[in-house]
Chain A
Amino acid sequence: MTTTHSNDGELRIGVFVCDCGLNIAGTVDCAAVAAHAATLPDVVCVVRNKYTCADPGQNEIKNAVREQRLNRVVVASCTPRQHEPTFRQCVLGAGLNPYLMEMANLREHCSWVHPGDREGATRKAKDLVASAVARARFLQPQEELAVPVTKRVLVIGGGVTGIEAALQLADAGHKVTLVEKQASIGGIMAQLDKNYPTMDCSI
């Protein structure tokens, strides 16, 4: 992880407001949110995207980071639980430490749950962006710790699912431990006579 841009002594935050097609823009007034973002402390650039996660959207972030010497990025789009890895990777591609990117969840936590309330949703979206910008001002670059993965898989349950997973892993050359609580593997399928749709024997 390389860190550039972050040590020039001045906060330069870019805010990227995503329409997500109509997913967000259908309910939230994204233009008003972008205008509000521009008034927040240390925000030097605000960009609206139709789809921020798509290549053109990501390229806009990268270009802005380089051209506007951004050292913090706020993406106001969907839940961080979905696209945080995407946008961390994106800012890393522009030479920024991934931990200097923050997200505001305008979709799952806002537009999708307040469809009948454009005004309320827009007011909330402005606050969520303000909250993300406030947090972004205090973000610091971080380095991740790498740890080795133990080369063995535990499969719990020896029904048809567990047996199949264990065999496939073993075929791929991995060490597998299969744990079954009954005296025999087989699960429910072992107790069945014939199986649909082929009407052949279970075991």
Chain B
Amino acid sequence: MVRPDEFQMGLSSRKAIYIQFPQAVPCSYILNMDDCLGNNPIACGKCADACDKRAINYDDRDQIITREVGAVVVAIGLDVYDPTELDEYGYTRFENVISSMEFERLICAGGPTGGHFVRPSDQERPTRIGFIQCVGSRNPKVGRPYCSNICCMNTIKDTLLLADHYPDVANVVFYQDIRAVGKSFEDMFQRSKEAGTRYVRGLPGEIEEDPETRNLVVTVENTTSGKLERHELEMVVLSVGVQPAKDMSRIASMLTLSRTSDGFFMESHPKLKPVDAPTRGVFLAGFCESPKDIKDSVCQAGAAASRAGALLNAGQITIEAITSRVDEVACTRCGVCAKVCPYGAIVWKKGEVASVVEAACAGCGSCSASCQFGAITMRHFTDEQILAQVHAVLAEDPQDKVFAFACNWCSYAGGDMAGISRMTYPASNRVVRTMCSARVSEEMVLEAFRCGAPVVLVSGCHFADCHYINANRQTVQRVHKLWDKLEKAGVRPERLQLEWISAAEGQKFAKVMRQLEELRGTVTRDEIEHAREALKAKPGKRPGVRAAEPVVEAPAAQT
């Protein structure tokens, strides 16, 4: 069985049983069952015959190992950009166009050629080599507007390696900017130029191949001289960037992490909490947080380790007192709360009063918003507290305001991001924060309309990012019900909007606020008055909504 060797970027082959590379840890053979013909004496079974120690086990299977942990460091890295989709550089058509990752294998003593740098078409050593920068980076057309950070320095390194191995080599680098910002980086850049590397400002539009010599003809507009240049080269290296790793969305939903618009994991605060994830106890480090070199990765690893260590050393954490409580008298034993709780934190049996397991309750408030009888109080985010905010905000000139509910983790944080990034939007919006969008009850939305709000927004995390497993699915159901209700009452349903805005999406937050302000402009006074009347509360329907007055008493003793 012979397969392309993935570690060598397919430049050499491996068997179905192999050691990935000589320095692998652990350094033992792996039997790749996707390639193995199996323990069938007719088909193969050769490795079992050859192994004196009888170490081959064809029946070995993946196992699930469960470990309880107090902290998690996420360091899943990034994937190297695959230039196949950028066909203008002929990566798939011309053998002598390679990626910078393939370059690494070709120049490495442990690589397929033993470190002898030869070109793929004829195994000859090239003397004129071109490097094209920003391949798959700083390119909104391929959805990657960001700078990959490492490729300029990597190319400078490559030119120095070539000059060191083969003094007769003439390198030319096509670039848009050289980003050599780091200790001793500028020095390396100068050394590369002194070693004879030519730096041409401008990215080639196209590469052609001479079918006879298999040389490559690169046409480029030199933006410094303004002249069109043609370069005949024996080999071209595409300096590829990095892209979000395949597993990122899975890990993000497992650990409720947010991602930037570029797809990297989002930290709690870009300056003050650079390695803390928004989820407590989770820390981010290395490539997966953003493209960076080894030194910065190691620095961040240390920071994440120290943050995780501090948490473990503290020995305990306090959980915010935002958990729900059941009013045993008001509870009608219907069990809706137990059904909507994403954590199974509500204990209920048919015919019995529900009760909350406080240590399991994460505080989303779905139960409180779903209870039709006002029997569940969400501590610190009670109906009274939130409705008091609705009333206060809409007390005067409600027609001028866009009323918005925003969840703490994503959309409210997205609003913060808009602020930090100074993205402007109209000053008509009034945001009320809840921990989760699922905390927003029907009554809260209706009350905002009754108070004269022209437009109401309910906003939360994207589905995969919900900080309460999937509580925001309750939000969707509730908003759909409300849309029906509004329609029946003759109120334009689009006056209630639902948006998912992540913590990183400051731009989206600002855009939504601009759109809602436009929508507000279309809502007439008559419509507002009609909604006030048509949505009037039926008396006695829901005890939780009575116009409450604050109680100032010492709290009941808590255990």
Q: Which of B160, B298, B392, B419 contacts A134 (CB 8 A)?
A: B392
The interface residues of chain B lying within 8 Å CB-to-CB of A57 are none
Pick from B23-31, B326-334, B367-375 the stretch touching chain A: B23-31
* Contact B430 A128, beta carbon cutoff 8 Å: yes
Contact residues of A between 109 and 130, Cβ < 8 Å to B: 109-110, 112-117, 120-121, 123-124, 127-128, 130
Can you list 11 A-B pairs with a CB-CB distance of less than 8 A?
A: A99-B380, A108-B420, A109-B419, A115-B424, A117-B426, A142-B321, A152-B67, A165-B75, A182-B20, A190-B21, A190-B23
Judge if A93 is at the interface, Cβ distance under 8 Å.
no
Question: Which of B304-312, B345-353, B468-476 lies at the binding interface?
Answer: B304-312
Q: Which residue of B lies closest to A140 (CB)?
A: B555
Contact with A along B396-433 (1 / 0, CB 8 A): 00000100000010001101101110111111111111
Chain B CB within 8 A of A63 CB: no
Q: How many A-B contacts are there with CB distance less than 8 Å? A: 298
Report how far A174 CA is from B68 CA in the complex, Å.
14
**CB within 8 Å for A147 and B552 given contacts A113-B510, A197-B184:** no
A17 at the interface (CB under 8 A from B): no
Q: Which 4 A-B pairs have the closest CB atoms?
A: A161-B286, A108-B419, A120-B427, A142-B321
Flag if A196 contacts B154 (CB, 8 Å).
Answer: yes
Binding site for A on B (CB under 8 A): 7, 9, 20-21, 23-27, 30, 67-78, 80, 101, 104-105, 107-109, 111, 115, 153-154, 156-157, 160-161, 182-185, 188, 247, 251, 269, 272, 281, 285-288, 293-294, 297-298, 300-302, 304-306, 308-309, 311-312, 314-321, 323, 358-359, 379-380, 382, 384-386, 388-389, 391-393, 395, 401, 408, 412-413, 415-416, 418-420, 422-433, 510, 548, 550, 552-555, 558
- Contact, CB under 8 Å: B23 / A142: no
A157 with B552, Cβ < 8 A, contacts A134-B389, A135-B389, A148-B315 known = no
A59 touches B (CB below 8 Å) = no
- Contacts of A144 on B, CB cut-off 8 Å? 318-321
Measured between beta carbons, the chain A residues less than 8 angstroms from B23 are 186, 190, 203
How far, in angstroms, from A140 to B554 measured CA to CA in the complex?
8
Choose among B153, B311, B422 the residue that contacts A197 (Cβ–Cβ < 8 A).
B153
Report which of A115, A142, A165, A172 forms a contact with B555, defined as CB distance below 8 A.
A142
CB distance from B435 to the nearest CB of A (A): 11
The interface size of chain A toward B, counting residues with CB under 8 Å, comes to 89
Q: Please encode chain A, from 180 to 203, with 1 for each CB lying within 8 Å of some chain B CB and 0 for all others.
A: 011111111111111111010001
| B302 engages A150 (CB within 8 Å) | no
With A142-B321, A197-B188 as known contacts, state yes or no: A150 contacts B555, CB within 8 Å.
Answer: no
B384's nearest neighbour on chain A, judged by CB, is: A138
**How distant is B190 from chain A, measured CB to nearest CB, in Å?**
13
Q: Is the CB of A191 within 8 A of B105?
A: yes
* Interface contact B75-A134, CB-CB below 8 Å: no
Contacting residue for B550 out of A127, A138, A142, A194, CB 8 A: A138
- Among A81, A117, A165, the residue within 8 A (CB) of B408 is A81
Partner of B72, one of A6, A141, A153: A153
In the complex, the answer to whether B319 meets A114 with C-beta atoms within 8 Å is no
